[in-house]
């Protein structure tokens, strides 16, 4: 699963944040990692944090609809970052956070205001420490609304389902393409209509459709945006 790297301290004063938002399968992780690698920035995958908390909740028998219990769990969960990425309660996040049952429950878990409040607090603390490429669903609108670069990635639902199907197959998970397409459509509807931090592009975000573009092409476009904005600061 995508990892979160410890931020390097900004060499030029204020941390520079690149916010990359979008729905599942739009290419956020691939693009965010590529941009971070090219620029020497840290990479923050906020989705990994929600998935890790969801996996922990399911393991503890907490229902995804139980907001108070999930908020309490988030408040008492230790999040840290090591050389290999996200660490939860002293343990590296494993493949279980990408399991199908987690995918089905993560939208419900992340919709609770208390859960988002706690995780956003952690995310902002990370972003304050250095230059970071942060990916998620509400980076540009909630977590870092003042980010100098905001990008919202989209792609057709067919292409997004194919990408996620390939990713899951490579991870040894079997799921049919039609069922995956249905799951993505349901999550889109849920995420875009939830009252807390809905999945919508920031008003000043640059929107990029990745359906017919290679990851390299999208990475290059984002890097060009970063260089343009850095020169303007």
CATH code where residue 121 lies:
3.40.50.300
For residue 109, the 8-state DSSP code is H
Q: Look at residue 11 and tell me if it is in a domain.
A: no
> Whole domain around residue 214: which residue ranges?
17-232
Listed range (37-46, 66-75, 88-97) with the worst mean pLDDT? 88-97
Output the pTM of the full model: 0.88
Phi-psi region of 90 (alpha: psi -120 to 50; beta: other; left: phi over 0): left
Q: Look at residue 5 and tell me if it is in a domain.
A: no
Separation in Å, CA 86 to CA 93, 147, 150: 6, 22, 23
Local confidence band at 1 (pLDDT 50, 70, 90 cut-offs): very low
Give the mean pLDDT of 186-213: 92
Cα separation, 211 vs 132, in Å, equals: 25
pLDDT of residue 167: 84
Q: Look at residue 144 and tell me if it is in a domain.
A: yes
Domains: count for the chain: 1
Cα separation, 53 vs 203, in Å, equals: 29
pLDDT of residue 98: 81
Q: Look at residue 226 and tell me if it is in a domain.
A: yes
Q: Look at residue 1 and tell me if it is in a domain.
A: no
Q: Would you state the structure tokens that stand for residue 158, as one six-digit string?
A: 């067919």
3-state secondary structure of 175: coil
pLDDT of residue 196: 84
For residue 95, the 8-state DSSP code is G
Give the mean pLDDT of 149-170: 93
Give the mean pLDDT of 189-203: 90
Q: Look at residue 10 and tell me if it is in a domain.
A: no
Q: Look at residue 180 and tell me if it is in a domain.
A: yes
Q: Look at residue 78 and tell me if it is in a domain.
A: yes
Q: Specify the length of the chain in residues.
A: 233
């Amino acid at each position: 699963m995508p990892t979160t790297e410890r931020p390097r301290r900004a060499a030029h004063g204020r941390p520079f944040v690149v916010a990359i938002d979008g729905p599942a399968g739009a290419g956020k992780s691939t693009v965010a990692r590529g941009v971070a690698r090219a620029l020497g920035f840290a990479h923050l995958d906020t989705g990994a944090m929600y998935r890790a908390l969801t996996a922990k909740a399911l393991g503890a028998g907490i229902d995804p609809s139980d907001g108070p219990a999930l908020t309490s769990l988030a408040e008492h969960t230790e999040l840290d970052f090591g050389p290999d990425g996200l660490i939860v309660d002293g343990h590296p996040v494993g493949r279980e956070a990408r399991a199908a049952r987690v995918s089905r429950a993560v939208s419900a878990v992340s919709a609770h205001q208390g859960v988002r409040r706690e995780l956003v607090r952690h995310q902002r603390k990370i972003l304050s420490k250095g230059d970071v490429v942060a990916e998620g669903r509400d980076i540009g609108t909630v977590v870092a609304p003042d980010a100098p670069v905001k990008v919202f990635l989209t792609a057709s639902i067919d292409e997004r389902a194919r990408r996620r199907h390939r990713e899951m197959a490579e991870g040894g998970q079997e799921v049919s393409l039609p069922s995956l397409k249905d799951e993505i459509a349901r999550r889109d509807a849920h995420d875009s209509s939830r009252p807390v931090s809905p999945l919508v592009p920031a008003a000043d975000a640059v929107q990029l459709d990745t359906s017919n573009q290679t990851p390299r092409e999208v990475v290059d476009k984002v890097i060009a945006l970063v260089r343009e904005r850095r020169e303007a600061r």
